[in-house]
Structures are given as C-alpha cells and as structure tokens.
A and B are shown apart, each in its own frame.
Chain A
Amino acid sequence: MSLLPYLIAAWLFLVGLYGIVTSRNLVHAVVCLSVVQSSTYILLLAIGYERGGTAPIFLDVPVGTRAVDPVVSALTLTDIVVGATVSALLLALAVQTYKRHGTLDTEEFRSVRD
C-alpha cells in the first residue's frame, strides 16, 4: 500500500503513452495525452500527502494543525491549466488538420508528406 499511488501514476503514464502510440485517431491521441498528464497530478499530490493531515486551509482549524503540503497543490493547479490549454491547442490543430486532409487517421498522413 505504501507505494500504490506512485505505481498508479507510473501505470497511467505508460498506458497513456501506449494509447498515443497505437492511436489511429488524432482526437483519441489528444485524450490519451491528457491521461499521461493526469499521472503527473497523482504523483505530485501523492508526494505531498501526509497521513492524517488536513487540507492546508486554516479557516476553521487553527494554524499548526497537521496539514498536507500546499506547494504540491499549487504545482498541480498550474499543471492542470497547462494540460487544459495544451489539449485545447491540440484539438484546434486536429480540427484544422481534418479540414485539410479530410481524415484524423494518423496512418494516412504519411502519404501527404513531401
């Protein structure tokens, strides 16, 4: 149990990559990329977690209460924004590619290239 979240992160990382590698649809590949990214959220938050700690918000609990690491939360927040924006950009690229090629199939792109 002590390493489980880390292992899940590693698993998601590789599964997402597998999805990208075997994907035949660009939109599918983009979503797989977001799975790869989600593994980094889990890794970060798991590292900052402290058993028995509360959320690092001292509105109802006094300062000094054992709390989990606020830094990883801040890092993950940034990470989530990055993920959403990269996905949006990739989807736009995919839509535009479809418009030019008439397909989202990655196998069919090669013929177009020089």
Chain B
Amino acid sequence: MSPSLRRRVFLVAAAVAGALLVWGLSGLPDYGIYRGPYGDVLNAVAVGERHATNVVAAVTFDYRGVDTMGEEYILFAAVIGVAILLRAQRDEREEAPDEDAADRRAPGTSNAVRVLGLALLGPVVLFGIYVVAHGHLSPGGGFQGGVVLATGALLVYLSGEYVTLRRVRPEALLDLAESSGAAGYVAVGLLGLAAGVTFLENVLPLGQAGTLLSSGMIPLINLAVGLEVAAGFVLLLSEFLEQTLVVRRPGEQT
C-alpha cells in the first residue's frame, strides 16, 4: 500500500474500531465506582494475613507472586535479547586496536558536572536501597528501587567516569547479579516446596506489621527483584552506551 492509501484505509478502519471500543467501554461501571470483589477482599485481609502495610506489594509479591516472577523473567529475557541483538558491534570493538582508554571518555564533561554527578551518586544509591527495602511498607519496592539504582550508575557515566567503570569489567559481575536476582525469585518460591507447601507459599515468620523485618518472604523477594532490575537496567543502558562510545571515537579523531 502507498502511504496515503494506507492512511486512508487506517482512518476508516480506526473509526469503526474506535466506535466499537467506545460502545464496549460504555458498558463499564462509571468511573469512580469499583464494583469488583477482588480488590476489596484483599484490602480487607492483606494487612492482617501478610503483615504488609502496602497491599500493592502484598498483591505483587505474594497473592499474585507468579505474575511478578514472570515479569522479572520478561526483563531478564529482554536483557539477554538486547545483548544478543547488539553483539555484532561488540565484536567490532574488539577487532579495533585497543587505543588509549582516555579517548573513550564521554566528550565534553566539565569538572563541575563530574563533581556534581559523583556527589549525587551517594544519595541516589541510598535512596534506591531505601525504596527497595521498604517496598512492603510504603510505595516502592524492588522494581522502582532497582531503576533508581540503575540511574545511579548512569550518573557515573555522566560524570565521565565511564572508563573507570569499564576498566573494572563489571559485565560478568552484572550478569551474575542479574541472574542471581532472577534465580533468587525462583529459589524463594522453591523454599515453599522444600518446606512441603506450595510454590511461593510463605514459610518465614511474618513479624510485626509496619516494621522493616515483617511480611515474611516479601522483603526477600523484593531484594531479589531489586538486584535483578538494577543490574538488568544497567546492562540495558550500557549496551546502548557502549555502542555510542565506540562508534563516536572515529568521529572524534577527525
């Protein structure tokens, strides 16, 4: 189809599809009214049963914990996928002679940015860890905290210390962190099996609701997820970063 024909066909079809959608959506209960029993039941019982004050976390990591396990592995698969898809460039880099590493430094970083970036690193990492650790109590959790931690690594890059980061060759370590996070989730699930109950069933003491060490396995799973997400996102970002740096080099030399 030519672009204009495609656009016209789409607009006609979308008008029909849109009308159908609206027709169906108008069958929903009005906005602001929630009728279903699922959420109300959980809101009523979760704190008592799970000693987790954040019911969303209780749902995510316990009642519907299998979904979240699948979700972690979606991220895991995507990280592997990106690594596979972008691998050719990596070969190229290794073919290129290993010139002085200083060239790889991100260009145009002023000292002020560098200092600021490094100064921010501490608080960002702390905040990330806090968010991971308090997931079962207040908003946040492994996923959000993990992303915050990953942006911490980005700060390191911004402050021009990417070379330092690269020189310690963190990839194997990151891979290990990511996969142990992912495996950790399954392992926590298997704890239940080992104790003779079902997969992902809580086998740890629930503790006092509202305190850091409560809610049984939820903080443990949160930790695994946090590890996986942080390492996963750093890997994702660095896959793209690495390429940018590599190919920018010839440009800089001219």
Binding site for B on A (CB under 8 A): 1-7, 9-10, 13-14, 17-18, 21-22, 24, 46-51, 53, 55-59, 63-64, 67-75, 77-78, 81-82, 84-86, 88-89, 91-93, 95-96, 99, 107
Which bucket holds chain B's interface residue count? 35 or more
Q: Name B residues whose Cβ lies closer than 8 Å to a Cβ of A.
A: 3, 6-7, 10-11, 14, 17-18, 21-22, 25-26, 28, 30-34, 36, 38-40, 42-44, 46-48, 53-56, 58-60, 64, 67-68, 70-71, 74-75, 77-79, 81-82, 85-86, 88-89, 137-139, 143, 210, 236, 239-240, 243
Contacts A10-B21, A57-B54, A77-B60 known; A71 to B42 CB distance under 8 Å? Answer: yes
In addition to A21-B7, A57-B55, 15 A-B residue pairs with Cβ atoms within 8 Å of each other are: A3-B26, A3-B30, A10-B25, A18-B11, A18-B14, A56-B55, A68-B34, A70-B55, A71-B42, A77-B56, A81-B75, A85-B78, A89-B85, A95-B243, A99-B89
Q: How far is the CA of A78 from the CA of B33 in the complex (A)?
A: 23
Q: A77-B143, A89-B85, A92-B81 are in contact. Are A59 and B137 (CB under 8 A)?
A: yes
Write 10 A-B pairs (CB below 8 A) sorted by A numbering: A3-B26, A6-B28, A7-B22, A7-B25, A10-B18, A10-B22, A50-B32, A63-B43, A78-B60, A96-B85
Residues of A close to B54: CB separation below 8 A: 56-57, 59
What is the CA–CA distance of A76 and B68 in the complex, to the nearest angstrom?
11
Complex CA gap A9/B24 in Å reads 13
Chain B residues in 8 Å Cβ range of A85? 74-75, 77-79
Of all chain B residues, the one with the shortest Cβ separation from A22 is B7
* Nearest CB in chain A to that of B137: its residue: A59
Q: Which residue, B39, B40, B60, B79, has most C-beta atoms of chain A within 10 A?
A: B39
